[in-house]
């Protein structure tokens, strides 16, 4: 490639959206990437890296293949929340190497961000925001905004501080351009400030965005000093992450199984769950074993084991999913707790009763044995009620002890409910055995 080609390429590349640049970048091999680093300035590379998903497994390699100074300049140019997200996936020694190449203030700023837990407001915030003293006039603010437009992650909200650097007002650019230039922002700013604390969980942050439909929210420390803002694009990532976690939890797979994992890696992520559940299911086996005498007397009982355990497990999974979802959306206090349990008991009774009657009829007619049908139906009804209750009680108890309720997965509930279903089934069968074996 000669010079002119490079220039033509530069223009085409830089005219693309950052996301399209990143899609292109990911198709390159190591040699082509080196050529790209030669053609593009660190800041141009930084724009693209701002859009790259920070959890791509290749990102550490990308950084380490760059010249150290180039990488440091790029990181310094990036929005600091994204730079921190990238650095989080590197070894401490490499992080230090990059930070040493930066101006002290910027390096310390990034070090500060790296120090927050990744799943809190501090972990997703940026310090690249627009702040003014509250005494500024509207006209000046618009003038000064131009300075921020190059570096701030959003200029659509202005944060107004008093002389003690306390956050005292917020103003949107939309409201600002409606003001006369000579107006003091102090007199027109919004003082009913919705902010989040730097230690707030990211789910709580997402709730604020959902409810208030903001594009950005200020983050304050315990002394109400403003330390950063969170922008809506980062919140979309949080919502995706949370949904992914809930979903994965329900199916007992690890959140982080990626399409790039080979079969061995995928299996190694699924096996811990499977083996744990297998061990739990061995208790069910010993329970059935305990009733071997009953089974020898009436091998027909074996026919309906999987019907009862399966259906009760399905019912338990349903009530689990409803409970986990509710816990994700609302805080549940004591009085709600008993109301919900009461409701789930009744729901379990209705579903159990209807399903039990269906099974009673099916089995009764099929086997021309309505006593057997009654036993299976009664066991089904009781097993569903217990599974339903467990499905809502267990996640609520986990939440009240501070665990993530989504860890109580569907497979866990259905394996657990196998145990109680088998116990209920054989207990009831034991009582009636003389009636249905004889008939």
Distant-in-sequence, close-in-space partners of 208: CB < 8 Å, separation ≥ 6: 194, 196, 214, 217
The 168-187 contact track toward a second copy, x by CB under 8 A, reads -----xxx-xx---------
User: Scanning residues 313 to 342, which ones bind a second copy (CB under 8 A)?
Assistant: 313-315, 317-318, 320-322, 325-326, 330
> Which one among 6, 43, 108, 289 touches a second copy, defined by CB under 8 A?
289
- Residue 193 sits at φ, ψ, to 5 deg, of -85, 125
Q: Do residues 67 and 38 touch, judged by C-beta distance below 8 A?
A: no
Distant-in-sequence, close-in-space partners of 390: CB < 8 Å, separation ≥ 6: 316, 413, 416, 417, 420
Tell the smallest beta-carbon distance from residue 424 to a second copy (Å). Answer: 13
Q: Is 285 in the site for a second copy (CB under 8 A)?
A: yes
Q: Do residues 280 and 416 touch, judged by C-beta distance below 8 A?
A: yes
Alpha carbon dihedral 360, 364, 369, 372, in 10-degree steps, equals -20
State the DSSP H helix or E strand holding residue 230, giving kind and residue range, or none if neither: strand 226-231
Q: Is 274 in the site for a second copy (CB under 8 A)?
A: yes
Residues in the chain: 439
Tell the smallest beta-carbon distance from residue 344 to a second copy (Å). Answer: 8
The 340-379 contact track toward a second copy, x by CB under 8 A, reads ---xx-xx-xxx--xx--xx--x-----------------
Tell the smallest beta-carbon distance from residue 296 to a second copy (Å). Answer: 5
User: Scanning residues 191 to 220, which ones bind a second copy (CB under 8 A)?
Assistant: 192, 194, 209-213, 215
User: Scanning residues 44 to 83, which ones bind a second copy (CB under 8 A)?
Assistant: 51
> Which one among 80, 81, 128, 246 touches a second copy, defined by CB under 8 A?
246
Q: Is 235 in the site for a second copy (CB under 8 A)?
A: yes
Tokens, residue 187: 């007199």
Stretch that binds a second copy, among 84-92, 106-114, 120-128, 265-273 (CB under 8 A): 265-273
> Which one among 66, 110, 277, 372 touches a second copy, defined by CB under 8 A?
277
Give just the sign of the alpha carbon dihedral 247, 252, 255, 256: negative
| Separation of alpha carbons 53 and 89, rounded Å | 12
Q: Is 271 in the site for a second copy (CB under 8 A)?
A: yes
Question: Given the complex with a second copy, which of 25 and 304 has the nearer CB atom?
Answer: 304
Stretch that binds a second copy, among 109-117, 195-203, 228-236, 427-435 (CB under 8 A): 228-236
> Which one among 85, 229, 411, 423 touches a second copy, defined by CB under 8 A?
411
Alpha-carbon distances, residue 135 vs 130, 162, 352, 396 (angstroms): 15, 8, 67, 50
Tell the smallest beta-carbon distance from residue 58 to a second copy (Å). Answer: 17
Give just the sign of the alpha carbon dihedral 11, 17, 20, 22: positive
Stretch that binds a second copy, among 87-95, 98-106, 111-119, 247-255 (CB under 8 A): 247-255
Count CA atoms within 13 Å of residue 338 on its CB side.
Answer: 2
């Amino acid at each position: 490639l000669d010079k002119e080609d490079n220039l033509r390429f530069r223009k085409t590349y830089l005219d693309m959206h950052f996301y399209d640049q990143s899609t292109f970048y990911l198709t390159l091999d190591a040699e082509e990437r080196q050529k790209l680093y030669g053609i593009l300035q660190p800041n141009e590379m930084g724009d693209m890296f701002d859009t790259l998903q920070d959890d791509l497994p290749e990102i550490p390699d990308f950084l380490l293949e760059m010249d150290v100074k180039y990488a440091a300049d790029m990181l310094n140019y990036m929005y600091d929340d994204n730079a921190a997200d990238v650095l989080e996936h590197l070894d401490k020694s490499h992080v230090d190497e990059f930070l040493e190449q930066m101006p002290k203030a910027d390096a310390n700023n990034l070090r500060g961000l790296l120090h927050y837990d990744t799943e809190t407001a501090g972990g997703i915030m940026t310090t690249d925001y627009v702040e003014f003293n509250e005494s500024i006039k509207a006209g000046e603010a618009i003038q000064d905004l131009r300075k921020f437009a190059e570096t701030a992650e959003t200029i659509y909200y202005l944060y107004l501080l008093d002389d003690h650097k306390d956050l005292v007002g917020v103003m949107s650019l939309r409201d600002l351009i409606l003001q006369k230039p000579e107006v003091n922002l102090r007199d027109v700013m919004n003082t009913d400030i919705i902010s989040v604390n730097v230690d707030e969980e990211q789910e709580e942050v997402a709730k604020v965005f959902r409810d208030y439909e903001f594009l950005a929210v200020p983050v304050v420390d315990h002394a109400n000093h403003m330390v950063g803002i969170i922008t809506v694009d980062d919140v979309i990532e949080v919502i995706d992450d949370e949904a992914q976690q809930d979903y994965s939890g329900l199916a007992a797979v690890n959140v982080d199984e990626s399409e790039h994992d080979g079969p061995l890696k995928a299996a190694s992520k699924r096996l811990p769950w499977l083996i744990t559940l297998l061990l739990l299911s061995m208790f069910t086996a010993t329970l059935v074993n305990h009733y071997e005498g009953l089974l020898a007397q009436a091998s027909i009982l074996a026919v309906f084991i999987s019907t009862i355990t399966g259906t009760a497990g399905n019912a338990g999974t349903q009530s689990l999913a409803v409970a986990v979802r509710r816990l994700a959306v609302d805080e549940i206090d004591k009085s709600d707790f008993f109301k919900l349990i009461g409701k789930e008991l009744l729901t379990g009774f209705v579903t159990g009763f209807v399903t039990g009657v269906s099974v009673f009829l099916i089995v009764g007619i099929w086997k021309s044995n309505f006593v057997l049908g009654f036993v299976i139906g009664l066991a089904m009804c009781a097993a569903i009620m217990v599974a339903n209750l467990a499905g809502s009680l267990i996640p609520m108890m986990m939440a009240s002890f501070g665990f993530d309720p989504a860890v109580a997965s569907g497979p866990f509930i259905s394996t657990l409910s196998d145990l109680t279903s088998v116990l209920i089934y054989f207990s009831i069968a034991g009582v009636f055995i003389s009636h249905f074996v004889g008939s």
